[in-house]
Amino acid sequence: MPRESGDASFLRRLNQVAILRGLHGTESATLAELARSARVSRATAEAIMETLLREGQAEEYAAGAAEGLRGRPARRFAFRAAVGHVAGVGIGAAHLTVMVADLRGRIVGRGAVGVPRDLPAADRLDAVAALVADVCARAELETELTVGDLTAVGVGTTGVIDGDGRVVKSVVLADWTGVALQAELARRLAVPVLVENDMRLAVLAEHWLGAARGRADVLYLHSGSRIGLGMLLGGVPYRGSHAAAGELGGHPNSRWRAFQHVMDYAMAVDPGELRAPSQAALFALARAQEGDAEAATAVESFATGLAEALVTLVTPLDPELVVIGGSLAQAGEWITAPIRDYLGAVCLYPPDVAVSELGADAVCLGAVRYGLNEAERRLFAS
């Protein structure tokens, strides 16, 4: 058999990638459809498909003939998502979360554990590695999955993360600043690891599966035990010149002045309980939902205060959507309506305002998407 030249081999690889992309981009397709989308002959598409079937990257649909039609239906093929898997990791101050997904993004395993807030960095890293291994072992698959089978692992964590996946600065986690997170986890897991700031991954997840689907320019405001911000510009999470965009942890008292409204209310009606800002907001919200007029006023003032802070970003960035995430997302219209009203009154082009559809899963799902991006880059490499 004559040996292929380098040019012929490269062309065949380009055609195979085109066919694979066509499969990946649709639920199923016939050889004729794939040949047309890849701009190759049917014979070439058929030869490539045999290779993809043999390598486990494609599978054949057993589709019956359509009702009322005669003749044998055309063979249909689909991308085989189980050919690879990725893991997404969310590293929080008190919780670690891991999800495992196939290459279609279907979650096949998940797990979470609580950890002490003052856990040393090395122990936190060991706990992450152990949880990834545990979730892989418990994944709902026909064959056993090990960490070594993963194509990539995406990781979201608080702090400023540089291009090498190192934590440049963290004000939330003790003993976290300076940790070479990507390198340390890659050493423990022995698979490709990618690390990004948690808020950027949260807005990426909302763009993929949540409230920001179909939106290219989005602000994601996380409100809970801390305030954080993720920005999506042109469909891509914005990092900034020092990878510190949206990192608000260094602000005085790690909160915005807007919280003072709900803190004053909570202290006035229940002075015996000392609450954190987010706890005060949830306390006031619960009372407002029960019909307390003063609580409702406090919540509205709090939401308007958030809007006043947001407008300094909305005006220059001109986003399509503002997503409210974190624990206060459960407030729904109690939070979004005052923000929407305020932005509508002061902005030339006011954005939509919505609460997160992903809740506490946003960061981990964003990490899954981050891992999938790397897996697809490798899969479609020419």
In what order do the strands lie in the sheet containing 29-30?
29-30, 76-79, 58-61
The SS3 of residue 300 is: helix
Identify the CA nearest to 88 among candidates 107, 71, 60. 107
- Residue 70, pLDDT score: 55
How many residues does this entry show for the chain? 382
Fold assignment, 212-357? Nucleotidyltransferase; domain 5 (3.30.420)
Check the CA dihedral 167-160-114-153 and report its sign: negative
What is the DSSP secondary-structure string of 26-95? SS-EEHHHHHHHHT--HHHHHHHHHHHHHHTSEEEE-PPPPTT--SPPPPEEEE-GGG-EEEEEEE-SSE
Per-residue pLDDT tens for 106-122? 999 999 999 999 999 99
Give the residues of the chain that fall short of pLDDT 70. 1-6, 62-72, 248-256, 382
What is the DSSP secondary-structure string of 183-202? HHHHHHH-S-EEEEEHHHHH
Give the CA-trace dihedral at 117, 282, 244, 306, to 10 degrees: -160
Token pair of 113, please? 């554990």
Residue type, 116: P
Per-residue pLDDT tens for 251-304? 444 456 889 999 999 999 999 999 988 899 999 999 999 999 999 999 999 999
Q: How many CB atoms lie within 10 A of CB 265?
A: 25
For residue 309, how far is the Cα from the chain centroid? 25
For 158-193, give one letter per residue: b (16+ CB within 10 A) or e.
bbbbbeebbbbbbbbbeebeebebbebbbebbebbb
Locate the domains of the chain by residue range. 6-79, 84-203+362-379, 212-357
For 310-349, give one letter per residue: b (16+ CB within 10 A) or e.
bbebbeeeebebbbbbbbbbebeebbbebbbbbbeeeeee
Please check whether residue 133 is in contact with residue 98, taking contact to mean a CB–CB distance below 8 angstroms.
no
- Residue 2, pLDDT score: 45
- Residue 71, pLDDT score: 56
As to burial, measured by CB atoms within 10 angstroms (0-12 exposed, 13-18 middle, 19+ buried), residue 26 is middle
In what order do the strands lie in the sheet containing 107-114?
107-114, 95-102, 85-91, 150-157, 193-197
The SS3 of residue 354 is: strand
For residue 62, how far is the Cα from the chain centroid? 34
Q: What are phi and psi of 305, to 5 degrees?
A: -65, -40
Angle at 253 between CA 249 and CA 258, to 5 degrees: 95
Token pair of 366, please? 């964003």
- Residue 254, pLDDT score: 40
Fold assignment, 84-203+362-379? Nucleotidyltransferase; domain 5 (3.30.420)
How many Å apart are CA 134 and CA 146, to the nearest integer? 9
Per-residue pLDDT tens for 366-378? 999 999 999 999 9
How many Å apart are CA 154 and CA 238, to the nearest integer? 17
How many Å apart are CA 171 and CA 138, to the nearest integer? 34
Please indicate whether the domains covering 6-79 and 212-357 agree at the CATH topology level.
no
Domain 6-79, CATH among 1.10.10.10, 3.40.50.10190, 1.10.443.10, 3.40.50.10320? 1.10.10.10
- Residue 266, pLDDT score: 96
Q: What are phi and psi of 252, to 5 degrees?
A: -50, 130
Q: How far is CA 1 from CA 4, 50, 62, in A?
A: 9, 19, 34
The SS3 of residue 8 is: helix
